[in-house]
């Protein structure tokens, strides 16, 4: 997906509090935007309180929504640099197309992972004009300096490790946990897990204490670290936790993300993750001039122009020491 919030200000990761280096429990309200008639997107990351959780630098929770005929998702071709887009499908189907020639429908329980590296273009649209449902999480993972200029790539993961514990179905989306490793190709130490319960359930999941973690409810009520929350709230947990007790209400689902504190300041603007305003200006100019990024074949949707960087408010922040 693309930046539907039309933010004009760049988001530098250095302008938020540093990783606390200990367990905390901070409630962070996601920002909400309504797309179309009843299509809700909640942006949980970045926020002023937390720009990143490990290398995870963006988290949009879309839906759950039901849409009428012809009112489905239609995000035309747009570029990315410096990141991976990680799509976790909960309900509905979306067709991904990209400038490498990949065409892939993603269905519930599957992950699409696109590595932008030095640059890629993709479109995302509903599979047909029929009425349908959409419920998904889209995350971005910042690529570390040594990997961010790499060749672009795309992977579809139809089968991920699934474990069951205390009535909770745990899907390992990325990284390693509980003796299993996700096939998703990532470039820094991180983890992603989906927890799902049909009936009320309580379980304890192991965490890597060097990682910072956060928890988001995707549906239903979730209780962890003394906090009770529902969709729309991200619970940031800090580092230093070896495990986390989680309580899930009936028909609930939660997303756990974590990773080694990133250690590099990034600059996020529109669909780009970079290190400097100059790189952002260059990527914007190149995209709007039709250079560098290539094109997506087969989509009926028009390409999305980058907003004018003239409106980009950005001050180079003082580096943390």
Q: Minimum distance between the CB of residue 94 and Mn ion, rounded to whole angstroms?
A: 11
Site string for Mn ion, 128-167 (x = CB under 5 A): ----------------------------------------
Site residue total, Mn ion (CB under 5 A) = 1
**Taking CB positions, which residue lies at the least distance from Mn ion?**
2
Contacts of 321 (CB under 8 A, 6+ apart): none
Q: Minimum distance between the CB of residue 197 and Mn ion, rounded to whole angstroms?
A: 30
Q: State which of positions 2-21 bind Mn ion (CB under 5 A).
A: 2
Q: Specify the residue, 2 or 182, whose C-beta has the smaller distance to Mn ion.
A: 2
What is the C-alpha separation between 29 and 230, in angstroms, rounded?
Answer: 10
Q: Minimum distance between the CB of residue 2 and Mn ion, rounded to whole angstroms?
A: 5
Q: Specify the residue, 78 or 213, whose C-beta has the smaller distance to Mn ion.
A: 78
Give the H or E element holding residue 287: helix 277-288
Q: What angle do CA 193, 100, 92 make, to 5 degrees?
A: 45
Secondary structure of 219-274 in the HEC alphabet? Answer: ECCEEECCEEECCCEEEEEECCCCEEEEEECCCEEEEEEEECCCCCCCEEECCEEE
Q: Specify the residue, 122 or 241, whose C-beta has the smaller distance to Mn ion.
A: 122
Q: Minimum distance between the CB of residue 304 and Mn ion, rounded to whole angstroms?
A: 9
125 and 94 Cβ atoms separated by less than 8 Å? yes
Q: Specify the residue, 78 or 196, whose C-beta has the smaller distance to Mn ion.
A: 78
Contacts of 4 (CB under 8 A, 6+ apart): 33, 35, 41
Of the candidate spans 1-9, 197-205, 208-216, 223-231, the one that interacts with Mn ion by CB under 5 A turns out to be 1-9
- Enumerate binding residues for Mn ion (CB under 5 A): 2
């Amino acid at each position: 997906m693309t930046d539907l919030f039309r933010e004009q200000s760049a988001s530098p990761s250095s302008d938020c509090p540093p990783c606390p280096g200990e367990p905390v429990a901070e409630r962070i309200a996601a920002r909400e935007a309504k797309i179309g008639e009843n299509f809700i997107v909640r942006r949980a990351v970045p926020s002023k309180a937390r720009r990143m959780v490990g290398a995870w630098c963006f988290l949009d929770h879309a839906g759950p929504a039901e849409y009428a005929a012809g009112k489905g998702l239609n995000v035309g071709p747009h570029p990315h640099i410096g990141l991976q887009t990680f799509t976790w499908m909960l309900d509905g189907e979306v067709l991904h197309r990209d400038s490498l020639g990949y065409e892939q429908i993603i269905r519930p329980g599957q992950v699409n992972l696109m590595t932008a590296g030095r640059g890629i273009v993709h479109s995302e649209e509903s599979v047909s004009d029929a009425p349908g449902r959409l419920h998904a999480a889209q995350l971005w993972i910042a690529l570390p300096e040594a990997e961010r200029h790499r060749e672009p790539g795309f992977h579809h993961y139809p089968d991920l490790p699934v474990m069951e514990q205390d009535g909770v179905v745990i899907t390992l989306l990325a990284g390693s946990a509980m003796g299993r490793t996700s096939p998703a190709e990532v470039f820094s130490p991180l983890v992603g897990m989906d927890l799902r319960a049909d009936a009320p359930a309580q379980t304890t999941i192991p965490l890597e204490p060097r990682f910072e973690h956060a928890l988001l409810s995707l549906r239903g009520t979730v209780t962890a670290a003394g906090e009770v929350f529902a969709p729309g709230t991200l619970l940031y947990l800090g580092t230093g936790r070896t495990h986390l007790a989680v309580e899930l209400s009936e028909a609930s689902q939660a997303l756990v993300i974590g990773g080694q504190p990133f250690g590099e300041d990034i600059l996020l603007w529109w669909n780009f993750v970079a290190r400097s305003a100059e790189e952002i200006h260059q990527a914007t100019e190149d995209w709007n001039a039709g250079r560098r990024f290539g094109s997506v074949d087969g989509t009926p949707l028009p390409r999305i122009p980058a907003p004018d960087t003239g409106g980009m408010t950005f001050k180079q922040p003082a580096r943390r020491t």
